[in-house]
Structure 1
Amino acid sequence: MPSAGARPLPSLDVFQRLGNWARDKRDGLALDDGFEELTFSKLAQRVAGLAQKVAPLPNVLGVYVPGGAAFTIADLALSFAGKTFVPLPPFFSAQQLAHIVRDCGMGAVLTTPGWKSKAEGFGLPVELIVDEEAAYDADAAHAGGRVIYTSGSTGAPKGVRLGTKQLNASAQGLLAASKAGPSDRYLSVLPQALLLEQVAGIHVPLLAGAPVYLAAGAVQAAAMGDPVPLIARAKHVQPTATVLVPDLLRAWVGGLAATRTMAPSSLRFVAVGGAPVPPKLCDAAWSLGIPVHEGYGLSECCSVVAVNRPENSVNGTAGQPLDGIKVTIENGEIVVEGPTVMDGYLNGPDPQGRFATGDLGTLDAKGNLVVLGRKDNLIVLSNGRNLSPEWIEGMILADPMIARAVIVGHGQSHPTAVLTPSSAGRDWFTKASGDDIAGRLAGLTAQAPVYAQPSSAIVVAEADLVAKGLLTGNGRVMRQAVASMVLG
């Protein structure tokens, strides 16, 4: 806290913008979550009302909601009140959530009336997010912070400390890179507990003065092989922009292709990150009217580090860094410097604006970032060749019949592919012979050098991955556990 008489720390840029929009576009739509619509003036009043309610509460507050307007209001209100905002992702396991509550010293949990009984399970005081309203004064905003927990594939989640500096730099950088403006209509698809969606789906649209439309339930449906809710919401909203992960893009592309329809012609910018985008998937998306712009980021750098721009998108790269961010490659590893770098892990040292990501990559002649995979995922074959498994997995995942692909083979002569069929591919894989699967795999990886092509494949159903404990709480494959299962 600043000492008496010290100049107050700056608050988030969105608070001044929200005040401006509440005055100049007071009846303009700010948020539609499928259940209620909030104008800019109503959103401002709800933020001010909740900020007043949480003011006397402990500094570190958790938010445990399914998403929607309640999450947006809580995100802004806790920062406005100068609190430390800690999202509790509903897709985390009970063990992971309990760890977060203990690790950050959480003092209370905010939730909605429908989730009150769930929130009480954390053993902390529970406050409800209802319809509190108050007069909004942007100049009354404080400098809050947030702790974002990364799931990882092993071990307990780590808390990433972020403040006003990181949030402002990230949101302003993405605003400029995406050329967002008041005429945009943002479709929010990813879970709001993800930092990427907080930046791209709350802060950037507010800076731009653009309305946000939530696609409630689209992620869960797509994960179950049903892209219809996503397609229907996009058709209804006619969005101009959205942010996806490759799995959601794959589901959207598959659904459009199956119904021989096109994406809304209103789309101008669809950022895709979180994992590499297979070139074939990218090409298919563009052919169906989805203007894919691949990006790269991580929570430790306040989400987006680099992204392709609408006027200069280079397939197969993550584009150029956001304004104010410097990316270098040191011994093959991506290193990020700039104002978006975290203040450190919880209870850890401050990296002083410089973070070695643990990701392997290169920069092309024009400064576009090419991400090769995780440094600690690197496979060394028995012939001494190094192989980034994500490279081959990306080729395989271009096939809509395959939902998951994990390449293993450390110390082996050739890699092995562990495949999980998609809903569209279950029947084919059930009937296919070993030669059929080998042939399909060979075709998908034909452009890879011979040493990198899988010599064998193991098919594991999604239900078996769950039963064998091979997935994290938020559905990521545990690579080392899969490798141990296959290689012993």
Structure 2
Amino acid sequence: MREFSSPALGGGPAGGLADSVFDRAEREPRLTQSSRWADGAWVPVSAARFRDEVLALAKGLLTRGVRYGDRVAVMSATRWEWTLFDYALWSIGAIPVPVYPTAAPDQVRWILAETAAVACVVEDEDQAMTVGAVCDALPELTGIWQLDRDCVAQLSADGAGVPDALVHRQRLAVTPDSMATIVYTSGTTGRPKGCLLTHGNLASVADALLAGWAEVFHDTRGEQPATLLFLPLAHVYGRITQVAAVRGGIRIGHHAKLSSESLLPALAAFEPTFLHAVPYVFEKIHRRAREAAEEAGKLELFVQAERVAVEWAAAWERRAHRLGPGPSPALRLRHAAYERMVYQRVRAVLGGRVRAVMSGGAMLGRELGLFFAGAGMTVYEGYGLTESAAAVTANPPRRPKFGTVGRPVPGSTVAIAEDGEVWVKGPGVFSGYLNHPRCSDEALCRGWLATGDLGVLDEDGYLTLTGRKKEVIVTSSGKNMAPAVLEERVRAHPLIAQCLIVGENRPYLAALITLDAVALAHWLRARGRPRLDVWEALVDPELHQEVQRAVGAANTSVSRAESIRAFRLLPREFSVEDGLLTPSLKIRRAAVVERYAEDIEELYAG
């Protein structure tokens, strides 16, 4: 087994996660801990005010019967009240259980029943009705609190007579080994399982990121670092971003939607100094920038600037690893020429101050990472799981290797088993799955977590992911193929939104492909063609030829036996609402294969 470790930076965490709220307010009461969107503007909230609101809500929860060790579900999109409930519950030793706001009633019933939740925080009337419809099967559930009906103010008012000391007594009883949250896996391969994560798990990972990537988080002008949290707080990636921000004195804002139409104006108004994001965000920004350039008649300029950015970033990457001298004088001049015309405008999309972004949740293409680095925003790709409290690896500051997910974060170890599976060890690794001892035993072995992912480690300890063990396709000829990398290469084409490769026990590989609706409309306008409805698009010869070029370009990186030999365009993108994507935007492969079984059969007919 090949392995690589990064030494821990400093000692382990002490106490519980809520302590950071009270400690920060004591040391820096005027520090802006968060900003909240109200009346068309971002309103600052000091560390002292945040502490007072957490304390007031914690006292209200005590009056409603929530006790140390109780589980309370939170079913909401990302918003500041979620953070408030997290820290109020942690202040009294209770355990928040995140539930995606799009969860179906049977999923809600399963999570609330398995965790024996005593209460559920919901966002609106629809979610309240979802919980209400299943509460007959939940005897432990005694309360449903609705955010849009100002339940925070009501609970806080209820607790006005509770002494502060009662909260502090319970908060100080929390240790790093105390259970902090139960986060359910995304369920790409079956029913979601609840991961038991302690205060120490979350604090250790957050502290490792704050220590090892301090220069990434801080503004070059010395201002307070700030980040806009738009990832789902029901997902561990969003959660660790929140914990790191509170522990690190980083100003944080909340935004509920991941769509580019909603997110980009929010970023421009908030002006973050760094971001945590998923590849979807970078793909959308790149596509929209290219489309805007084409509509302005400047596509050739953008293509040239893109090529220069990639060359410039690749040259700096080689220099960082002592493999080259860096950009040549001629390349520096060309790069400087495009700074104002192209790169500055790309950065302005994210508010203008962002110089670094941490990306996770899925693989980011090397070329795309190089483009953003060349445009002045380095994307530090990382990797982690719910079972590891998010980050296990990340590309280090000033020494990224684009196309990899970096080296182990401080205190962690990564190993590659004989079959290519990635195993990890570190303070963020969970203690097991709730009520699933057999699954826990399968995942954990002498402190190691078997991730189910496939990958390779290079001589410097950088990890490159190659796929998932459960997603490996075995064709009828016995050829094994992990589809993730090839799918990512197909998706690099601006028209293509999603790609799923099939071929299990078939003679060759084929693909189901969905199109980006906005990109398709732009592609048609650029060619002076009328807008096509979805069914016309599926049979349009010119469009098929364009997609075939994308598939052909991706196939050049693999052997013929591993290439996509046929594809089918589908009428709509996979979505969370139709059950084909997880809330963290991963494709539910089994669900897609079942939904489009007839299309797959037609791909292999004859």
Normalising by structure 1, we get a TM-score of 0.88
CA contact (8 A) 1:246 1:272 kept: yes
Distance 1:197 1:468 in 2: 23
Q: Distance in 1 between matches of 2:486 and 2:413?
A: 28
Q: Return closer, same or farther for 1:290/1:444 CA change in 2, 3 Å cut-off.
A: farther
Cα 1:197–1:98, aligned 2, differ >3 Å: closer, same or farther? same
1:218-250, Cα deviation, whole Å (9 max, x unpaired): x1xx2xxxx243222222222121111111221
Residue type of the alignment partner of 1:266: R
User: Deviations for 1:429-473, whole angstroms, at most 9, x for unmatched residues?
Assistant: 553444443223102432233322211111112268789864557
Report matched runs for 1:225-244 at 5 Å.
227-244=260-277
In structure 1, the partner of 2:85 is 74
SS class of match (1:33): strand
Partner of 1:174: 209
More helix by share: 2
- TM-superposed CA distance for 1:353, in Å, is 3.1
Q: Does 1:458 pair with 2:469?
A: no
Change (3 A) 1:464 1:214: closer
Change (3 A) 1:100 1:464: closer
User: Which residue in 1 is equivalent to 2:329?
Assistant: none
How big is the shift at 1:107?
Answer: 1.4
Structure 1 CA distance for aligned equivalents of residues 547 and 573 of structure 2: 20
Residue aligning to 2:342: none
How far the C-alpha of 1:199 sits from its partner, in A, is: 0.7
- Match of 1:234, SS? helix
CA distance in 1, matches of 2:557, 2:573: 31
Q: How far has the Cα of 1:191 moved from its partner? A: 1.4
Contact between 2:105 and 2:131, CA under 8 Å: does it hold in 1?
no
Work out which of the residue numbers 180, 184, 188 in structure 2 matches 1:145: 180
**Aligned residue in 2 for 1:253:** 286
Determine helix, strand or coil for the equivalent of 2:37: coil
Q: Determine the C-alpha separation between the residues in 2 that align with 1:116 and 1:467.
A: 18
Taking only aligned residues, the RMSD between alpha carbons, in angstroms, comes to 2.7
What's the offset of the Cα at 1:117?
5.2
Unaligned 5+ runs, structure 2: 1-12, 136-140, 294-344, 524-536, 602-606
Which stretch shifts more, 335-344 or 135-144?
135-144
* Match of residue 421 from structure 1: 515
Correspondence for 2:115: 104
Does residue 386 of the first structure (1) align with residue 473 of the second (2)?
A: no
CA contact (8 A) 1:91 1:474 kept: no
Pair 1:399–1:365, CA change in 2 (3 A): same
Amino acid at match of 1:48: L
Spell out, residue by residue over 1:324-359, the C-alpha distance to the aligned partner (whole angstroms, 9 max, x if none). Answer: 111100121000112211110001346363210110
In 1, Cα distance between equivalents of 2:481 and 2:76: 41
Aligned residue type for 2:346? M
| Separation of aligned partners in 2, 1:231 and 1:473 | 20
TM-superposed deviation, 1:152: 1.6
In structure 2, what is the Cα distance between the partners aligned to 1:291 and 1:166?
Answer: 27
Contact 2:80 2:253 in 1 (8 A): no
Where 2:400 maps in the other structure, the secondary structure is coil
CA–CA separation in structure 1 for the residues paired with 2:82 and 2:447? 29
Question: Structure 1 residue 481: deviation in Å?
Answer: 4.1
The letter of the residue matching 1:356 is: A
Answering whether residue 409 of structure 2 is matched by residue 322 of structure 1, we say yes
Opposite residue 480 of structure 1, the aligned amino acid is: A
Alpha-carbon distance in structure 2 between the residues aligned to 1:245 and 1:466: 16
Quote the Cα distance in structure 1 between the aligned partners of 2:108 and 2:275. 28
Unpaired runs of 5+ residues, structure 1, are: 1-8
| Residue from 283, 288, 298 that aligns with 2:370 | 283
After the TM superposition, which residues 78-227 of structure 1 pair with which residues of structure 2 at under 5 Å, given as runs?
78-111=89-122, 119-123=131-135, 124=141, 125-127=143-145, 129-131=151-153, 132=156, 140-143=171-174, 144-179=179-214, 180=217, 183-200=224-241, 202-217=242-257, 219=258, 222=259, 227=260
Q: State the alpha-carbon separation in 2 of the partners of residues 26 and 423 from structure 1.
A: 48
TM-score (norm 2): 0.72
Q: Which has the larger radius of gyration?
A: 2
Distance, in Å, in 1 between the alignment partners of 2:277 and 2:122 is 26
Which residue does 2:54 correspond to in 1?
47
Pair 1:346-2:434 in alignment = yes
Deviation of 1:142 after TM superposition, in Å, equals 4.0
Stretch of structure 1 that moved more, 465-474 or 367-376: 465-474
Aligned to 2:530: none
Aligned match of 2:531: none
Say which is worse superposed, 469-478 or 436-445, in terms of deviation: 469-478
Residues 392 and 452, structure 1, Cα contact 8 Å, conserved in 2: no
**Residues 113, 285 of structure 1: CA spacing in aligned structure 2 closer, same or farther, 3 A cutoff?**
same
Partner of 1:359: 453
Post-superposition CA distance 1:162-211 (Å, at most 9, x none): 112211111111212321457211121211211111111x1111121110
Which of 381, 397, 402 is matched with 2:491 structurally?
A: 397
CA-CA distance at 1:475 after TM superposition: 5.4
Change (3 A) 1:419 1:166: same
> Relative contact order, CA 8 A, sep 6+: which one is greater?
2
